[in-house]
Homo-oligomer: A and B are copies of this chain.
């Protein structure tokens, strides 16, 4: 974890910087209570800034005369970093665990549409070995005219399915005012990709006790994603699970580009568990099984998959939902790959 005493910014002065330029930088640092450690090289001066990282990085160093570059040397997130906690975090929920050598499959319909649809899907995924049920009652949609979810009625159906099939469930929150409602029903609360940078929602989720499954913003860098996790963690809720779900790139052959490299990168940067969503990244049914195999092979802690009894009539994202029998078949191969990398699925 970042200590107050560390150098948190290295300010490299240009070859033409004057002594006044150097003095100006030192003065600005002292104004905010930071210390300057000055090293004069043969051709350029380098200033290490020691003090409160956030205050230091806030000032516009590169706009100051004589400054060539200002290089942050500490990450902006703290509690979620591997430096703060060396061992992997494990989230335990309703008999299931995420992290700690397991490969946890989460499965179910994208949106809860009806009791029949939910129960058919839940029965199938329970049978095929899913650890946790997914299903949303609130859907944030790009168009205001699309189906927005069954709301509280949907949560009630999910709670019924939990009783019936013995699976804890995860559902999405889209409004800070609904967090209380969600946490009274769901076992895990999900933050969708469009809300990853909704800081008021994140803070609210940090102040309740359900684990939070934080999907990556489809346009967020890994650093921004860990900053979002930090918003939850620093409020006191340490049960945060990350889900890679694809990023927006120039390629349009798939809906998004699954950034599978993010998983080993996160392993190095953070102690939080990491899942992969093979359904929403590709956006097409035939891509789900290959991407699920990839999730197991890379060493993720699990995956989240859309399964729908009749995808052709799904109100949300049917094009990518697996049929129950497809999910079951896929799980066989996924288990063999998880075993090859030393995990139980």
Interface residues of A, Cβ cutoff 8 Å to B:
3, 5-7, 10, 12, 15, 28, 31, 35, 37, 39, 41-44, 46, 48, 50, 53-54, 58-60, 62-64, 68-69, 71, 73, 76-78, 140-147, 174-177, 194-195, 197-200, 203, 217-219, 221-224, 227, 230-231, 234, 247-254, 257-265, 268, 281-282, 284-287, 290-291, 293-294, 296-299, 311-320, 333, 336-337, 339-341
Which among B69, B175, B177 is the interface contact of A71 at CB below 8 angstroms?
B69
Known: A71-B71, A144-B199. 6 other contacts (CB 8 A): A35-B42, A37-B42, A39-B41, A218-B219, A219-B248, A258-B261
Distance in Å from the Cβ of A58 to the closest Cβ of chain B? 6
CB of A199 within 8 A of CB of B41, answer no
Contact at B249–A257, with CB atoms within 8 Å? yes
Q: How far is the CA of A291 from the CA of B261 in the complex (A)?
A: 7
Contact A221 B251 (CB under 8 A): yes
Which residues of the partner chain B approach A296 to less than 8 Å between Cβ atoms? 297
Contact of A42 among B50, B198, B250 (CB under 8 A): B50
Of B37, B250, B285, the contact of A221 (CB 8 Å cutoff) = B250
Beta-carbon contact of A253 and B73 below 8 Å: no
The answer to whether B42 touches A48, judged by C-beta atoms less than 8 angstroms apart, is yes
Q: Closest residue of chain B to A230, judged by CB?
A: B144
Do the beta carbons of A314 and B227 come within 8 Å of each other?
no
Please pick, from B265, B290, B337, the residue contacting A287 in the complex, using a CB distance under 8 A: B265
Contacts A50-B43, A285-B63, A340-B333 hold; do A257 and B259 have CB atoms under 8 A apart?
A: yes
Of the residues B46, B312, B336, contact of A39 by C-beta under 8 Å: B46
Contact: A10 with B46, CB < 8 Å? yes
* Chain B: CB-nearest residue to A144: B231
Task: Judge whether B199 and A141 touch: CB under 8 Å.
Answer: yes
Instruction: Determine the chain B residues whose CB is within 8 A of the CB of A234 once the complex forms.
Output: 144
Q: Are A298 and B287 in contact (CB under 8 A)?
A: no
- Does B251 contact A268, Cβ atoms closer than 8 Å? no
Cβ contact within 8 Å between A318 and B143:
no
- Docked-complex contact B7 and A42, CB < 8 angstroms: yes
Q: List 6 A-B contacts (CB under 8 A).
A: A247-B250, A252-B252, A254-B265, A260-B260, A264-B286, A294-B294
Q: Are B258's CB and A260's CB within 8 A?
A: yes
A277–chain B nearest beta-carbon distance, Å: 12
Query: Which residues on B sit within 8 Å (CB–CB) of A37?
Result: 41-42
Residues of B close to A286: CB separation below 8 A: 264, 268
Per a CB cutoff under 8 Å, which of B63, B73, B177, B258 touches A177? B177
Most buried by B among A53, A221, A224, A314: A221
> B174, A177: Cβ atoms under 8 Å?
no
**Closest approach, in angstroms, between the C-beta of A253 and any C-beta of chain B?**
5
Q: Pick from B199, B261, B265: contact of A140, CB below 8 A.
A: B199
Distance in Å from the Cβ of A336 to the closest Cβ of chain B? 4
